[in-house]
Copies of this chain bind each other. A is one copy, B any other.
Amino acid sequence: MPASKAPLAAPLPHQRTRRDHSNETAEDYVEAIAEILTEKKECRAVDLAAFFGVSHVTVKRIVSRLAGEGLLQTEPYRPITLTRQGKRLATMSRQRHEIVQNFLLAIGVDAATAALDTEGIEHHVSPKTLARFEELTQSLRAADRSR
């Protein structure tokens, strides 16, 4: 493999992008579970299936995997709970989600589009970029107030 032949461009970035995909699901799931738990006091596989629009079988398999990764806990025919680690990830994911969404709103994207785009974007925004988003959100709000 041309590892010495100057691969033209970006060989590593894409690798990161691909690798991230596995984490996206984890973040989506713990975030969804946390959200459901704020309104229902119990999170069942059905809830997640409805939330994501997939079958309960798909949810079951992913939940099993995430349980193995220490993010959540389940027992047969029992509801799903987040571990300490899962809660931490959920909180971070939610915060990042909100920062991105508020930023899109601040730059004038309509609410529906902002919500939709945030779903896709949030997992790919690095801490550095996220920091810029926050700063710019503040600036734009300030400018808006003094207008």
Contacts and interface: CB of A to CB of B under 8 A. Distances in A.
Given A8-B36, A128-B110, A132-B109, A52 B1 contact: no
A13 B115 CA distance: 8
How many copies, total?
2
A120 B20 contact: yes
Contacts of A110: 128
Contacts of A124: 117, 119-121, 124
Contact of A13 (B2, B11, B20, B116): B116
Interface residues of A, number: 52
A75 interface: no
A10 B39 CA distance: 14
13 contacts: A1-B49, A2-B46, A2-B50, A8-B35, A10-B51, A11-B52, A13-B119, A14-B51, A16-B116, A17-B120, A109-B128, A109-B132, A121-B124
